[in-house]
Amino acid sequence: MKKPVPVVITIDGPSGSGKGTLSQMLARHLGYHLLDSGALYRLVALAAIKKNIDLSNELAVTQVAMGLDVKFSLDESESARILLEGVEVTDAIRAESVSMGASQIAAYPEVRAALLERQRAFAIAPGLVADGRDMGTTVFPEAQTKLFLTASAEARAERRCKQLLAKGISVDIAELIKDIRERDQRDSTRVVSPLKPADSAIIIDSTTMSIEEVFSRMLAAIN
Residues that bind ligand DC in the complex, under the rule CB under 6 A? 15, 37-38, 41-42, 102-103, 106, 132-134, 183, 187
In contact, 16 and 177? CB cutoff 8 Å = no
Number of other residues whose CB lies within 10 A of the CB of residue 59: 9
By Cβ distance, which residue is nearest to ligand DC?
A: 38
Q: How far is the CB of 105 from ligand DC (least distance, A)?
A: 8
Distance CA 57, CA 43 (A): 16
In contact, 24 and 160? CB cutoff 8 Å = no
Q: How far is the CB of 75 from ligand DC (least distance, A)?
A: 20
C-beta closer to ligand DC: residue 10 or 218: 10
C-beta closer to ligand DC: residue 4 or 169: 169
Q: How far is the CB of 73 from ligand DC (least distance, A)?
A: 18
Distance CA 194, CA 159 (A): 24
In contact, 9 and 26? CB cutoff 8 Å = yes
How does strand 70-74 pair with strand 80-84?
antiparallel
Q: How far is the CB of 1 from ligand DC (least distance, A)?
A: 33
C-beta closer to ligand DC: residue 18 or 132: 132
C-beta closer to ligand DC: residue 127 or 132: 132
